[in-house]
């Protein structure tokens, strides 16, 4: 549903944790095939055209993050869908590197304050690895795109303005400056309107783009008289007064005009954008129609990626999650699934979501490579997987060890050694046991160990954080004694837990929560009857008694 509340962050291993063989992946989720719907809409616009241009934008004022990468991948989904309809798509990734630096991003080296107001492409790279500030950020975006099979035509605003791509748009805006002002009037403050001009001029003396004020202009020659008279941060204006041409890189359009000019100059047919840009898109659409006299591209807006607090991910705050961090622990297809999953739903995104999307990917792959019934859900899953692999799925099903199970093994045994995890898997999971000799299996176990140390440990719940009653303490002690008494089938152990809950008048969900905290330091987990048997009954009993000593108890009433 549009505008749906962001889903809650999660670090839940339980849905993947039942040691019951290869079918543990879970119930198949039905993902909407939204790229096909977008391609159908777009085809009506294109009609007999053979090519189609899709755009995605990037503001290189800070490092590209998961949301930036997601926009490229989502655009690629639509491109692949329209390709299936016989069109040849091109994805243009446009970097707004002529924007001025408004603030220094968190975590960046000192010394950037003196460059506030200068175009990002004219500021030295603070990390010393590229030819400019934006060159570094653009390079990171290139590296992200290289992680996929997506072909992207990268464009730089500074290069496009310099070589004259926007010259026709500049002349059109200057000739209709009053009309542009009228379109933007409701969006600008009275203070801004006093000195408003539909172009931001770069001062030839100090190189700043936000420090200039236009005194007059000639629409035919596209020349302006300007003065550098506006402070930027702590930087005083240089005071230069001069005349210069706006053509060939003399400055750039403000944002909403720039967006429309880009569509016009580059012939863009389709662009996705975040929900926060809906008002901007409406204005840019008007400018495209009324000033450039051309139809704006088709759009689809998506909800935003949020951090764990529910706030929009921000480059300037430095709270960005890079795709490489996700791919350190999980396959690329799981990251593609994050972007494919209902773009109109806001999502809180963190590395804690990896087990969930790994589980769902395994379920999709199980359906795709199976010979099951060809019903609607199966067709949907297979179509989804083709998008996740950009229509180049492997000939054989990839090996996917159950990440949730691996994490529960590591948490339950307290092991940081790959051999201990391998031994457990070999006893509980026939599919895994058959694959353990393969290099990719060992690699996935190493990734799970790494993930547990880097991410999962932060979600652990210590027994000391829970206050237990006398009845709950007795139930845990009696279960420990039961486990020490001798062997019992998995279902017998499971039944004993329910019997203790009933006898001692404890809600089963509450007792299971305490047992999970005691055994794996999580609120949920695998089916305990089987888990304690494979973990080792004596080991499980020891862990339960150790936890009993750390659980908090209610204060005694005197």
Q: Tokens representing 57?
A: 């934008």
Question: CA-CA distance, 219 to 206, in Å (whole number)?
Answer: 25
Average pLDDT over residues 218-228: 96
- For 477-521, what is each residue's pLDDT tens digit? 999 999 999 888 889 999 999 999 999 999 999 999 999 999 988
More confident residue, 25 or 274: 274
Residue 18 in this model has a pLDDT that exceeds 50: no
Whole-number pLDDT of residue 422:
79
Q: What are phi and psi of 328, to 5 degrees?
A: -65, -30
Of 34-43, 130-139, 187-196, 272-281, the poorest mean pLDDT is in: 187-196
Whole-number pLDDT of residue 28:
63
Q: What share of the chain is helix, strand, coil (3-state, %, to 5)?
A: 50, 10, 40
Query: Are residues 214 and 242 both part of a single domain?
Result: yes
Whole-number pLDDT of residue 314:
63
Tokens 């924007």 label which residue?
A: 99
Residue 6 in this model has a pLDDT that exceeds 50: no
Average pLDDT over residues 323-343: 94
Query: Are residues 275 and 149 both part of a single domain?
Result: yes
User: Domain boundary at 440, 459, 478, which?
Assistant: 459
Query: Are residues 140 and 287 both part of a single domain?
Result: yes
End-to-end CA distance of the chain: give it in Å, rounded.
55
What domain count does the chain have?
4
Query: Are residues 145 and 289 both part of a single domain?
Result: yes
Whole-number pLDDT of residue 317:
57
- For 368-380, what is each residue's pLDDT tens digit? 999 877 788 889 9
Average pLDDT over residues 405-431: 77
Residue 191 in this model has a pLDDT that exceeds 90: no
More confident residue, 192 or 266: 266
Question: CA-CA distance, 448 to 483, in Å (whole number)?
Answer: 29
Domain boundaries, position 219:
187-252
- Three-state DSSP class for 345? strand
Q: Return the beta strands (E) in 448-536 as ranges.
A: none
Average pLDDT over residues 306-332: 78
Query: Are residues 123 and 267 both part of a single domain?
Result: yes
Query: Are residues 413 and 483 both part of a single domain?
Result: no
Query: Are residues 416 and 497 both part of a single domain?
Result: no
Query: Are residues 41 and 158 both part of a single domain?
Result: yes
Confidence of residue 429 (pLDDT cuts 50, 70, 90): low
Query: How does the average pLDDT of the chain come out, rounded?
Result: 89
User: In this structure, is residue 177 part of a structural domain?
Assistant: no
Which of these, 486, 339, 389, lies nearest to 148 by C-alpha position? 389
Share of the chain above pLDDT 90, in %: 67
User: In this structure, is residue 102 part of a structural domain?
Assistant: yes
Which of these, 402, 381, 405, 404, lies nearest to 393 by C-alpha position? 381
User: Domain boundary at 252, 267, 292, which?
Assistant: 252
Whole-number pLDDT of residue 192:
79
Do 519 and 434 form a contact (C-beta atoms < 8 A)?
Answer: no
Whole-number pLDDT of residue 144:
86
Query: Are residues 128 and 277 both part of a single domain?
Result: yes
Q: What are phi and psi of 25, to 5 degrees?
A: -60, -25
Chain CA centroid to CA 397, Å:
26
Whole-number pLDDT of residue 251:
96
Do 304 and 277 form a contact (C-beta atoms < 8 A)?
Answer: no
Query: Are residues 214 and 362 both part of a single domain?
Result: no
Residue 365 in this model has a pLDDT that exceeds 90: yes
Query: Are residues 262 and 134 both part of a single domain?
Result: yes
Residue 2 in this model has a pLDDT that exceeds 70: no
User: In this structure, is residue 263 part of a structural domain?
Assistant: yes
Whole-number pLDDT of residue 26:
46
- For 448-475, what is each residue's pLDDT tens digit? 999 999 999 888 899 999 999 999 999 9
């Amino acid at each position: 549903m549009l505008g749906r509340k962001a889903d809650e962050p999660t670090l839940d291993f339980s849905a993947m944790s039942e040691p019951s063989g290869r079918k543990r992946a879970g119930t198949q989720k039905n993902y909407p095939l939204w790229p096909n719907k977008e391609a159908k809409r777009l085809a009506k616009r294109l009609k007999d055209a053979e090519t189609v241009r899709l755009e995605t934008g990037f503001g290189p004022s800070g490092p590209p993050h998961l949301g930036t990468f997601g926009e490229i991948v989502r655009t690629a989904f639509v491109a692949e869908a329209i390709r299936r309809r016989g069109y040849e798509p091109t994805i243009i990734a446009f970097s707004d590197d002529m924007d001025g630096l408004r603030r220094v991003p968190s975590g960046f080296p000192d010394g950037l304050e003196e460059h506030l107001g200068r175009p990002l492409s004219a500021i030295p790279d603070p990390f010393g690895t590229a030819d400019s500030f934006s060159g570094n950020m653009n390079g990171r975006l290139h590296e992200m795109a290289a992680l996929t099979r997506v072909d992207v035509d990268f464009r730089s605003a500074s290069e496009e303005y310099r070589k004259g791509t926007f010259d026709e748009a500049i002349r059109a805006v200057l000739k209709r400056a009053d009309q542009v002002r009228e379109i933007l009037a409701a969006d600008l403050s009275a203070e801004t309107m006093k000195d408003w001009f539909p172009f931001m001029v770069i001062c030839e003396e100090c190189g700043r783009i936000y420090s200039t004020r236009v005194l007059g202009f000639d629409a035919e020659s596209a020349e302006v008289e300007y003065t550098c008279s506006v402070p930027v941060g702590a930087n005083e204006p240089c005071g230069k007064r001069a005349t210069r041409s706006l053509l060939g890189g003399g400055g750039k359009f403000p944002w909403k005009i720039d967006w429309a000019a880009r569509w016009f100059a580059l012939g863009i047919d389709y662009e996705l954008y975040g929900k926060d840009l809906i008002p901007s898109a409406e204005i840019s659409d008007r400018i495209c129609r009324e000033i450039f006299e051309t139809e704006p591209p088709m759009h689809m807006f998506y909800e935003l990626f949020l951090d764990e607090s529910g706030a929009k991910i921000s480059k300037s705050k430095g709270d960005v999650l890079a795709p490489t961090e996700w791919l350190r622990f999980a396959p690329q297809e799981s990251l593609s699934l994050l972007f494919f999953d209902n773009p109109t739903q806001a999502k809180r995104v963190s590395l804690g979501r990896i087990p969930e999307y790994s589980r769902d990917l395994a379920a999709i792959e199980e359906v795709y490579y199976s010979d099951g019934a060809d019903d609607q859900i199966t067709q949907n899953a297979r179509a989804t997987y083709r998008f996740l692999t950009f229509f180049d799925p492997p000939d054989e099903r990839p090996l996917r060890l159950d990440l949730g199970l691996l994490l529960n093994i590591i948490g339950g045994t307290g092991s940081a050694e790959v051999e201990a995890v391998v031994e457990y898997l070999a006893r509980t999971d026939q599919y895994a046991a058959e694959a353990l000799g393969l290099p990719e299996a060992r690699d996935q176990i190493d990734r799970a160990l790494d993930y547990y140390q880097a991410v999962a440990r932060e979600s652990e719940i210590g027994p000391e954080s829970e206050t237990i009653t006398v009845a709950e303490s007795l139930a845990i002690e009696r279960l420990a004694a039961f486990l020490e008494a001798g062997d019992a089938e998995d279902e017998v152990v499971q039944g004993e837990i329910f019997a203790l809950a009933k006898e001692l008048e404890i809600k089963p969900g509450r007792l299971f929560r305490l047992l999970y905290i005691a055994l794996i330091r999580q609120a949920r987990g695998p089916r305990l009857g089987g888990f304690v048997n494979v973990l080792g009954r004596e080991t499980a009993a020891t862990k339960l008694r150790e936890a009993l000593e750390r659980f908090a108890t209610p204060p005694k009433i005197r």
